[in-house]
Amino acid sequence: MSIVAAAAALSLPISLSRSNKFHATKCLRGGFGVFAIIGEEGGLVERKSPWTSLFDVEDPRAKVPQYKGKFLDVNQALEVARYDIQYCDWKARQDVLTIMLLHEKVNYHLLVTISLCGLRMSLVIVFVVVEVINPLAREFKSIGTLRKELADLQVELAQAHNQVHISEARVSTALDKLAYMETLVTDKILQDTSTTGPDLLLPSSTLSLPPAKSRQPKRSINVSGPVQPYNDHLKNFWYPVAFSAGLKDDTMMPIDCFEEPWVLFRGKEGKPGCVQNTCAHRACPLDLGSINEGRIKCPYHGWEYSTDGKCEKMPSTKFLNVKIKALPCFEQEGMIWIWPGNDPPTPKLPSLLPPSGFQIHAEIVMELPVEHGLLLDNLLDLAHAPFTHTSTFAKGWSVPSLVKFLTPSASSLQGYWDPYPIDMEFHPPCMVLSTIGISKPGKLQGQSTRECATHLHQLHVCLPSSKQKTRLLYRMSLDFAPILKHVPFMQHLWRYFAEKVLNEDLRLVLGQQERMLNGTNVWNLPVSYDKLGVRYRQWRDSVERGSKELHSQYNFLDQ
The minimum distance between CB 320 and ligand FES, in angstroms, equals 12
Determine if 284 is a binding residue for ligand FES (CB under 6 A).
yes
Give the one residue of 279, 327, 431, 461 binding ligand FES; rule: CB under 6 A.
Answer: 279
The minimum distance between CB 306 and ligand FES, in angstroms, equals 15
Determine if 252 is a binding residue for ligand FES (CB under 6 A).
no
> Of 18 and 282, which CB lies nearer to ligand FES in the complex structure?
282
Dihedral sign for Cα 139, 141, 145, 146, please.
Answer: positive
* Partner in contact with 310, chosen from Fe ion, ligand FES, none, beta carbon below 5 to 8 Å by kind: none
How many helices (H) and strands (E) the chain has is answered by 10, 20
Report strand pairing: 239-243 vs 253-257.
Answer: unpaired
Q: Using the 8-state DSSP alphabet, how is residue 328 labeled? A: -
Dihedral sign for Cα 365, 367, 368, 374, please.
Answer: positive
Report which residue type is found at 10. Answer: L
| Sole window of 88-96, 115-123, 278-286, 456-464 interacting with ligand FES (rule: CB under 6 A) | 278-286
Q: Give the binding-site size for ligand FES (rule: CB under 6 A).
A: 8
| Sole window of 310-318, 323-331, 343-351, 500-508 interacting with Fe ion (rule: CB under 5 A) | 500-508
Q: Which CA distances in Å does 28 have to 37, 98, 193, 203, 408?
A: 11, 9, 143, 137, 130
Q: How many CB atoms lie within 10 A of CB 12?
A: 19
The minimum distance between CB 282 and ligand FES, in angstroms, equals 4
The minimum distance between CB 381 and Fe ion, in angstroms, equals 7
Give the one residue of 256, 425, 505, 530 binding Fe ion; rule: CB under 5 A.
Answer: 505
Report which residue type is found at 371. Answer: E
Across-strand partners of 418?
404
- Whether the bond between 421 and the residue before it is cis, its omega within 30 degrees of 0, is no
> Of 294 and 373, which CB lies nearer to ligand FES in the complex structure?
294
> Of 61 and 281, which CB lies nearer to ligand FES in the complex structure?
281
The minimum distance between CB 526 and Fe ion, in angstroms, equals 17
- Cβ atoms of 354 and 360 within 8 Å: the answer is yes
Binding map of ligand FES across residues 426-455, x = CB under 6 A, - = no contact:
------------------------------
Determine if 288 is a binding residue for ligand FES (CB under 6 A).
no
* Partner in contact with 505, chosen from ligand FES, Fe ion, none, beta carbon below 5 to 8 Å by kind: Fe ion
The minimum distance between CB 263 and ligand FES, in angstroms, equals 13
> Of 284 and 527, which CB lies nearer to ligand FES in the complex structure?
284
Report which residue type is found at 261. Answer: P
Residue 129 and residue 39: Cα distance in Å, rounded? Answer: 35
* Partner in contact with 12, chosen from Fe ion, ligand FES, none, beta carbon below 5 to 8 Å by kind: none
Burial 271-283 (b: 16+ CB within 10 A, else e): ebbbbbbbbbbee
* Partner in contact with 300, chosen from Fe ion, ligand FES, none, beta carbon below 5 to 8 Å by kind: ligand FES
> Where do runs of H (alpha helix) occur along 196-291?
204-207, 211-214
Determine if 282 is a binding residue for ligand FES (CB under 6 A).
yes
Residue 346 and residue 179: Cα distance in Å, rounded? Answer: 21
Determine if 423 is a binding residue for Fe ion (CB under 5 A).
no
Q: How many CB atoms lie within 10 A of CB 99?
A: 10
Residue 247 and residue 271: Cα distance in Å, rounded? Answer: 10
Q: Using the 8-state DSSP alphabet, how is residue 231 labeled? A: P
Show contacts with ligand FES in window 298-337 (CB under 6 A). Answer: 298, 300-301, 303
The minimum distance between CB 423 and ligand FES, in angstroms, equals 49
Q: How many CB atoms lie within 10 A of CB 236?
A: 18
The minimum distance between CB 471 and ligand FES, in angstroms, equals 25
Report which residue type is found at 470. Answer: T
| Sole window of 240-248, 297-305, 402-410, 475-483 interacting with ligand FES (rule: CB under 6 A) | 297-305
Where do the DSSP E strands lie in 183-298? Answer: 239-243, 253-257, 260-266, 272-276, 290-292, 295-297
Nearest to 257 by CA among 242, 279, 272, 244: 242
| Sole window of 42-50, 296-304, 322-330, 378-386 interacting with ligand FES (rule: CB under 6 A) | 296-304
* Partner in contact with 480, chosen from ligand FES, Fe ion, none, beta carbon below 5 to 8 Å by kind: none
* Partner in contact with 335, chosen from ligand FES, Fe ion, none, beta carbon below 5 to 8 Å by kind: none
The minimum distance between CB 288 and ligand FES, in angstroms, equals 10
The minimum distance between CB 298 and ligand FES, in angstroms, equals 3
Q: Using the 8-state DSSP alphabet, how is residue 457 labeled? A: E
| Sole window of 103-111, 269-277, 294-302, 361-369 interacting with ligand FES (rule: CB under 6 A) | 294-302
- Cβ atoms of 556 and 246 within 8 Å: the answer is no
Binding site residues, Fe ion, CB under 5 A: 505
Binding site residues, ligand FES, CB under 6 A: 279, 281-282, 284, 298, 300-301, 303
